[in-house]
Amino acid sequence: MLQFSAQQIALMIQGKVEGDALATVSQFGKIEEATAGQISFLANPKYEEFLYQTKASVIIVNESLVLKNNINATLIRVPDAYAAFATLLTKYQELKNQNLSGIQSPSYISSSAKLGENHFVGAFAHIGDQVQIGNNVKIYPGVVIGENVKIGNDVILNPGVIIYSDCVLGNNITIHAGAIIGSDGFGFAPTADGSYQKVPQLGNVIIEDHVEIGSNTTIDRATIGSTIIRKGVKLDNLIQVAHNVEIGENTVIAAQTGLSGSTKVGKGVMIGGQTGTAGHLSIADGVKVAGRSGITKTITKENSVITGYPATDHNTALRAQVQVKNLPNLEKRVKELEILVAQLSQKG
């Protein structure tokens, strides 16, 4: 178990210690539940009351925080407590992963595969022919890597990840348990007798640097060419990325979203959960898509906010929702006007 002092942690996250710099911690805890020997953080003012009740030994807080009462914990003040805590968690995980090395048994590694330095291969992993793997790669138990796959440096493949043949992964990538990279795209051609003929999927998947892919997410290989996940993309759990999709740099997509074939997503796009897209459309850079939206046509306006089904401008959709709520009253008023018009017609 790793143990650090408040001073050591402050150096990691470029913070300033307020209190006992020698206070040590070895675990993380939520501020409302933390105990002695744990470190926590306070970023949301809604949780400030717990700052004066918690038993945590060290707490990361914002520089701007003004204490209302005395506290027992050592504080580390930083410009952004949430970001600093995320940085600390990342460094802690990196240190833990450094302890993993070597090859567990049983596992299969092809004689033609090439592994870099400081690698870890867990039990029951399978590494196929002509695979190339860089340095500091961690392959957990049950991972399957098909032939001709190329993997860069500092990659983590969690248990049960499957990477089909010919796929290419860059550097600093994390893929979580059960994700599947490079399975066949959904390509079937209708025939005269009403059945469907499978269209061979001959392409691959390319994943650029600094990408994270959630558990049980599936990214299909291209029919021809490549399905591409650009630098810095973050994908949640349970996402379907179809064949020949391209996701732009630093885009984030929440769980249960489905991107149909040949969808092109721009840079810096944010897509809420349970969103779906029709195929062969584009989404402009910086677009924000509310959860459970259905995108049926290309979005050309950059940095726009869209929602609903079919997805449209967010403000327009909200106004439409208000009018939908008023429909019963409008119907009543129309009927009253119809009666009034009929009465006036009779008098006329």
Spatial neighbors of 238 by CB under 8 A, at least 6 apart, are 214, 215, 216, 217, 255, 256
Fold entry, domain 161-310: UDP N-Acetylglucosamine Acyltransferase; domain 1 (2.160.10)
- In the CATH scheme, what is the homologous superfamily, with its name and number, of domain 4-98? MurE/MurF, N-terminal domain (3.40.1390.10)
Residue 323 has pLDDT above 80, yes or no: no
The token duo for 109 is: 């590694």
Residue 20 has pLDDT above 80, yes or no: yes
Mean pLDDT of 67-83: 95
> Would 4-98 and 161-310 be classified into the same CATH topology?
no
Residue 233 has pLDDT above 90, yes or no: yes
* Active centre residues (catalytic): 243
* φ, ψ for residue 93, nearest 5 deg: -65, -40
* Confidence band of 200 (pLDDT split at 50, 70, 90): very high
* Confidence band of 26 (pLDDT split at 50, 70, 90): very high
Helices (H) then strands (E): counts for the chain? 4, 40
Closest CA to 70 of 87, 88, 55, 52: 52
User: Do residues 9 and 88 touch, judged by C-beta distance below 8 A?
Assistant: yes
Q: Name which residue leads in pLDDT, 330 or 303.
A: 303
The token duo for 321 is: 């929702």
Mean pLDDT of 249-262: 98
Confidence at residue 92, expressed as pLDDT on a 0 to 100 scale: 87
Report the percent of the chain where pLDDT is more than 70.
99
Residue 315 has pLDDT above 90, yes or no: no
Element (H, E) at 226: strand 226-229
Residue 1 has pLDDT above 70, yes or no: no
**CA distance linking residue 209 with residue 243, whole number of Å:** 20
Confidence at residue 348, expressed as pLDDT on a 0 to 100 scale: 64
Residue 287 has pLDDT above 90, yes or no: yes
**CA distance linking residue 71 with residue 34, whole number of Å:** 14
**CA distance linking residue 124 with residue 73, whole number of Å:** 45
Torsion-angle region of 33 (φ positive above 0: left; ψ -120 to 50: alpha; else: beta): alpha
Confidence at residue 340, expressed as pLDDT on a 0 to 100 scale: 86
**Which string of DSSP letters, residue by residue, matches 189-207?**
EE-TTS-EEEPP---EEEE
Please give the mean pLDDT across all residues of the chain. 94
Mean pLDDT of 60-81: 95
Confidence at residue 326, expressed as pLDDT on a 0 to 100 scale: 80
Confidence at residue 25, expressed as pLDDT on a 0 to 100 scale: 95
In the chain, domain spans: 4-98, 161-310
Count of CB atoms situated within 10 Å of the CB of 143: 23
**CA distance linking residue 113 with residue 127, whole number of Å:** 7
Residue 97 has pLDDT above 80, yes or no: no
Helix, strand, or coil (residue 50): helix
**Which string of DSSP letters, residue by residue, matches 206-235?**
EE-SS-EE-TT-EEEPPSSSEEEE-TT-EE
Mean pLDDT of 54-67: 96
Q: Structure pTM?
A: 0.81
